[in-house]
Structure 1
Amino acid sequence: MAIPIPSGRGGVRRRTVRTLLAAVTAVLVSAVVALVAPSAAHAGPAFTNPLNSTGPDPYMTWYNGNYYLMTTPWSGPLTMRKAPTIAALKTATPAAVFSAHAAGRDHSIWAPEFHLLNGPNGQRWYIYYSAGNGDIETQRVHVLESAGLDPLGPYTYKGMIFGSNNWWGIDGSVATINGQLYFTWSGVPTVLWRDSDPHIYLVALANPWTVTGARTAISAPTYDWERQGTPMNEGPVAIQRGGRTFITYSASACQGPDYKIGQLEYTGGNVLSAGSWTKKAIPIFQRNDAAGVYGPAHHGFFKSPDGTEDWIVYHANSSAGDGCGSTRTTRIQKITWNADGTPNLGVPVATSTILAPPAGEPAGPAVAMRLQSYNFNTRYVRHANYDARIDANVSPLADSQWRIVPGLANTAGGYVSFESVNFPGYYLRQSNYDFALVRNDGTAQFAADATFRQVAGLADASAVSYQGYSAPTRYLRHYNYLLRLDPVSTATERADATFRLTA
C-alpha cells in the first residue's frame, strides 16, 4: 500500500549520494545542456487527439512546409489553421480566408475542402463548401479560387458549381480519374432534400468550378448500417493508390453514434456509370466504445510530409449522446493498406493515445505535457536533483514538464519515452526498477529502460498507465511519492500506476 510521507523523507542514503554528486556536476551540466539537441528520431513532437475543441467536417493537407486545416464554421468567415507540426497545429490561431458571403449563401456554411488544381490560370487552390439561406433545401456547393499558390489566399468567389442545374448538394470534393477531373458530392435524385435519401453523385468538370454533362448516382444508402438514425450517404472523398481509385463516404445519421465510413471502388469502364463502382458490404471505420469514440466519419486524407504515409482526418464525439453539432472534434491517425490493395483505416483511437507525428515532420518546439497523479491529483511527476517523484507546487514548473516522444526502443505500438523539457536529451529511465533523469547515452539498454507502452489507465480507462518495455510485467507507479517500476495487482497499486495527461 502506498502510504504518503512528507516530501522531506523522500531521500534515502543512495539518493543523498546522488544529490551530492548532482550538486558537484550541476555547473557542468548547465554549461552543456544548451548544446544537447533532441535525438533526430524525435523530429516533430508526439501528440494526442483531438486537434481542437470543436471541429466538424475537417479537411487538411501538408503543403510547402506546413499543415493546413479547415473545418465547418457554421457562419462568418471561412478560416484555415496553419502550422509546421501537428502539435503546433493544435494551438494555431485560425486565419480568415474568405468572408464575402452574399445573401442566399451566408448561412449553414459547412464542410470546406481545399484542393490544388490546374485551372485556366495555372495551378490554384480551390475551396469547395456548402451554404444556403438557412433553409436546408437551399444548400448548394460553392467554389472559391486563390490568387496564387498560398493556401491562405486571397480568394475570389467563382460561383455555385452546379451552374444552371437545380441540384441540391452538400459535401463537395474532387478527384482526377483517367485524366479527367470529376466532382463528387452528396445529393438527392429529386429537387427537394426532404423527398429522398442523400446519395453519392459524380459528374465531370469542365474546369474546377463548372460541371459539365449529366450526373450519376454511384451509391445510395441501401445497407442497414447506412440507415441508422437516418438513411444517409454523404461526405465523399477520394483516395488513390497503385492506379486504383476509392471513394470513401459517411453513412447513417451524423446525429447519432453510428455515423461511420463506407467504401466504393472504381473497377473500370465508364467512370460515370454506376456499374463501374463497387460498394464494400461492410463499413471500414466506425464507433469504438472501448476507446470512447462515437460517430467517427466526415473525413479526408493527407500524406505525411515525406510522402511515405497516408493519414485520415475525421471528426468524432466523445459521448454516445453527443449530436451533430459543436461537440465534434477533429482527429487524425495513420492508415495502412491491406494485402489486396484496399485502404485499411483501422479503428479510431482514444483521445488519451499518444501518437507519433507523421513521418518527415520537421522538428518543432517541445510540447510541455504533465503527468498528474490519479490518486494524488495535486501532485505531478517531476525531476528533482535527477531523481523522479511526484510533488505538488512544483517550482520551477519545467521540472514537471515532459516532451512525450516516440519510444527510443520502439516507435510503434504506442511506445513512448519522456524527455525533460528543461534538460533536453535527458529522459526518465528505470534502473533496477528505480527512476532517475538520465542523459541518453545512445545505447540499446538505455533506450529499452527509457521506453514504455502507453495503455488505458489501470484504475480508470479514461486516464493512462505505462508498461515497462524492458520489464513488461511492471508498470510506472509512485510509492512514497517516488517513481518505481513495479508489478501491479491491488486497487491501490492500480491507482498509483494511473496518471492523467495535462498541458
Structure 2
Amino acid sequence: MKHYISHTIVILSLFFSWGNQAQTFQNPLLDSGADPFSVYVDGYYYYTHTTGNGVVLWKTKNLANLRDAVSKTIWTPPANTMYSKDIWAPEIHYIDHKWYVYVAADNGTNENHRMYVLENTTADPLNDHWEFKGKLAAPSDKWAIDGNVYMYKDQLYMAWSGWEGDTNGQQDIFIAKMSDPLTISGKRVKISSPTYPWELNGDLGTAGNPAHVSVNEGPQFLEHDGNLFIVFSASGCWTDHYALGLLSLTGNDPMDATAWSKKEAPLFKQTPENSVYAPGHNSFFKSPDGKEDWILYHANSNPGEGCGNKRSPRMQRLYWQEDGTPYIGTPFPTSVIQPIPSK
C-alpha cells in the first residue's frame, strides 16, 4: 500500500494561488448540505444537495470554491401534490445534450415517497426552463428514493433504494433498465439487502414501541477500466454507524442479481479519532483534467447529530487498487489541508 501513502493524511503548510483560486482546501465545502451530488460539463461543476423543499443548483469551476459559487433554485414544487414535500437527494445529469434532475418526494407521508424527474433542454441549467416530467417508477410502483442513473455498455440503468412491499422496516437496492432518461422500461431487480452487522444499525421508536429499520440506500454507480461498481450507504443515517458499502459486478449483466458481489467490510466508515461521524450518501466526480477520481460525501463532526442539518458536504480523492477495486481510506479530519483536484 506504499503508493497510497500520499492519501493517508495530507498536511500542507502553505497555500498557493492559481489566478484567484486557492490550490488547497479544507472540508467541509459548505456548513450544511446532505446527499451531495455533482456533474462536470464543459468546464463547470453543477452541484446540488438536499434542501427538503425544492432543488437548488450551484455552478463552479472548482468544487472547493462552493462557498463562492453562483446558485439558483431551479424547482419549487406546487403545494398539495404527491411530490410537494420531503424532497430528498436530487441528482443532476447531462444525457444526450439535455439536463435531467432526479429527485425523491412525497406529500408529507413517507410511505408515498417516489422518484420524479425534471428536464431542461437548454445549454445552461441555471435558468427557469426546467419542466416537471412526472413520476419515474418501475411497474411495481413501490416506495423509492435516491435514484442514480448511469449508462453502461450503451444501456441506461437506474439504481435506487426501495421497499420490497408497502411497509417500512428494510430498504434494499434495486436496479432497472431505462428506455430513455424519462422512462423505466422493465421490472426492478433487487441486488442488495442489509445483511452484515455494519449494515444493521437502525433502531427507531420508543421503549414501549420499539422498531428496527435496516438500510441500504444512496446507490452510486462507479466504473473504472471496464469494471462496474455500486457504492451504497448502509445503516440508519440517524446513527453514527452510517457507512459506505461496495457492490462489484462480477458477471456481465447488471440485471442479474447473482452477478453482484458485496464486500464484507464497509468501504468507508466513521472515524471518531478524526471527529468524522456517519459519513455517507456519496457521489463521485473526476478532476477537470480527467486524471483523478474523487468522492463527495456528507458527514457530521460530532457524535449523535443524526440526519439533520449538521451534515456537511466533503470531498477527498479515491484511488484504485491492484485488484481493480476503489480505495478511499478513512474520512479526513477538517484540519487536513488537501490539494484541489488536478487541472
Shorter-normalised TM range: 0.7 to 0.9
Per-residue deviation, 1:60: 1.2
1:222 aligns with 2:200: no
**For residue 200 of structure 1, what is the amino acid of its counterpart?**
I
Q: Structure 1 residues 159, 83: closer, same or farther in 2, change over 3 A?
A: same
Using the TM superposition, name which of 292-301 and 66-75 deviates more: 66-75
1:94 aligns with 2:71: yes
Identity of aligned residues (%): 39
Would the aligned equivalents of 1:131 and 1:142 in 2 still touch at CA under 8 Å?
yes
- Quote the Cα distance in structure 1 between the aligned partners of 2:317 and 2:115: 29
Per-residue deviation, 1:40: 6.2
Tell me the equivalent position of 2:173: 200
Using the TM superposition, name which of 172-181 and 124-133 deviates more: 172-181
**For residue 337 of structure 2, what is the amino acid of its counterpart?**
I
Per-residue deviation, 1:41: 11
Per-residue deviation, 1:212: 1.2
C-alpha offsets along residues 143-177 of structure 1, whole Å, 9 cap, x if unaligned? 01112232324311111101654211000001222
- Quote the Cα distance in structure 1 between the aligned partners of 2:125 and 2:232: 25
Task: Please state which structure has a larger fraction of its residues in strand.
Answer: 2
Would the aligned equivalents of 2:292 and 2:317 in 1 still touch at CA under 8 Å?
yes
**For residue 285 of structure 2, what is the amino acid of its counterpart?**
F
Q: Structure 1 residues 49, 176: closer, same or farther in 2, change over 3 A?
A: same
Q: Structure 1 residues 261, 326: closer, same or farther in 2, change over 3 A?
A: same
**For residue 75 of structure 2, what is the amino acid of its counterpart?**
F
Per-residue deviation, 1:84: 2.0
TM-score (norm 2): 0.88
Tell me the equivalent position of 1:450: none
Q: Structure 1 residues 314, 269: closer, same or farther in 2, change over 3 A?
A: same
Tell me the equivalent position of 1:56: 34
Written as runs of structure 1 = structure 2, the 5 A alignment for 1:255-266 is: 255-266=238-249
Q: Structure 1 residues 341, 95: closer, same or farther in 2, change over 3 A?
A: same
Using the TM superposition, name which of 269-278 and 163-172 deviates more: 163-172
- Quote the Cα distance in structure 2 between the aligned partners of 1:39 and 1:325: 35
Residues paired across the two proteins, number: 316
- Quote the Cα distance in structure 2 between the aligned partners of 1:108 and 1:272: 30
- Quote the Cα distance in structure 2 between the aligned partners of 1:86 and 1:181: 27
C-alpha offsets along residues 70-121 of structure 1, whole Å, 9 cap, x if unaligned? 010111x310111222343123353111124451101000000111113xxx
Tell me the equivalent position of 1:294: 277
1:189 aligns with 2:172: no
Would the aligned equivalents of 1:181 and 1:204 in 2 still touch at CA under 8 Å?
yes
**For residue 45 of structure 1, what is the amino acid of its counterpart?**
Q
- Quote the Cα distance in structure 2 between the aligned partners of 1:39 and 1:187: 45
Structure number with bigger Rg: 1
C-alpha offsets along residues 201-253 of structure 1, whole Å, 9 cap, x if unaligned? 00010111111111100000011110012411000000101001000000001
Output the aligned Cα RMSD: 1.8
TM-score (norm 1): 0.61
Per-residue deviation, 1:125: 1.3
Task: Please state which structure has a larger fraction of its residues in helix.
Answer: 1
**For residue 246 of structure 1, what is the amino acid of its counterpart?**
F
- Quote the Cα distance in structure 2 between the aligned partners of 1:329 and 1:254: 13
- Quote the Cα distance in structure 1 between the aligned partners of 2:87 and 2:257: 30
**For residue 165 of structure 2, what is the amino acid of its counterpart?**
T
Tell me the equivalent position of 1:348: 331
- Quote the Cα distance in structure 1 between the aligned partners of 2:197 and 2:318: 26
1:179 aligns with 2:150: no
Tell me the equivalent position of 2:122: 148
3-state SS of 1:319 partner: coil
Q: Alignment partner for residue 276 of structure 1, among 234, 237, 259?
A: 259
Q: Structure 1 residues 100, 324: closer, same or farther in 2, change over 3 A?
A: closer
Q: Structure 1 residues 39, 188: closer, same or farther in 2, change over 3 A?
A: closer
1:231 aligns with 2:214: yes
- Quote the Cα distance in structure 2 between the aligned partners of 1:226 and 1:163: 25
Q: Structure 1 residues 101, 334: closer, same or farther in 2, change over 3 A?
A: farther
Written as runs of structure 1 = structure 2, the 5 A alignment for 1:72-91 is: 72-75=50-53, 77-91=54-68
Per-residue deviation, 1:43: 6.3
Tell me the equivalent position of 1:243: 226
Q: Alignment partner for residue 317 of structure 2, among 324, 334, 337?
A: 334
- Quote the Cα distance in structure 2 between the aligned partners of 1:163 and 1:220: 18
Tell me the equivalent position of 2:99: 125
Tell me the equivalent position of 2:3: none
Using the TM superposition, name which of 148-157 and 125-134 deviates more: 148-157
- Quote the Cα distance in structure 2 between the aligned partners of 1:147 and 1:313: 27
- Quote the Cα distance in structure 2 between the aligned partners of 1:208 and 1:39: 40
- Quote the Cα distance in structure 1 between the aligned partners of 2:309 and 2:21: 33
Would the aligned equivalents of 2:138 and 2:187 in 1 still touch at CA under 8 Å?
no
- Quote the Cα distance in structure 1 between the aligned partners of 2:17 and 2:195: 52
Tell me the equivalent position of 1:159: 134
Written as runs of structure 1 = structure 2, the 5 A alignment for 1:332-481 is: 332-360=315-343
Per-residue deviation, 1:44: 4.3
Q: Structure 1 residues 228, 177: closer, same or farther in 2, change over 3 A?
A: same
C-alpha offsets along residues 278-334 of structure 1, whole Å, 9 cap, x if unaligned? 111111000011110000000000010010000000000001110111110000111
Unaligned runs of 5+ in 2: 1-15, 203-212
Higher relative contact order (CA 8 A, sep 6+): 2
Would the aligned equivalents of 1:205 and 1:211 in 2 still touch at CA under 8 Å?
yes
Would the aligned equivalents of 1:47 and 1:86 in 2 still touch at CA under 8 Å?
no
Would the aligned equivalents of 1:147 and 1:156 in 2 still touch at CA under 8 Å?
no
Unaligned runs of 5+ in 1: 1-37, 361-503
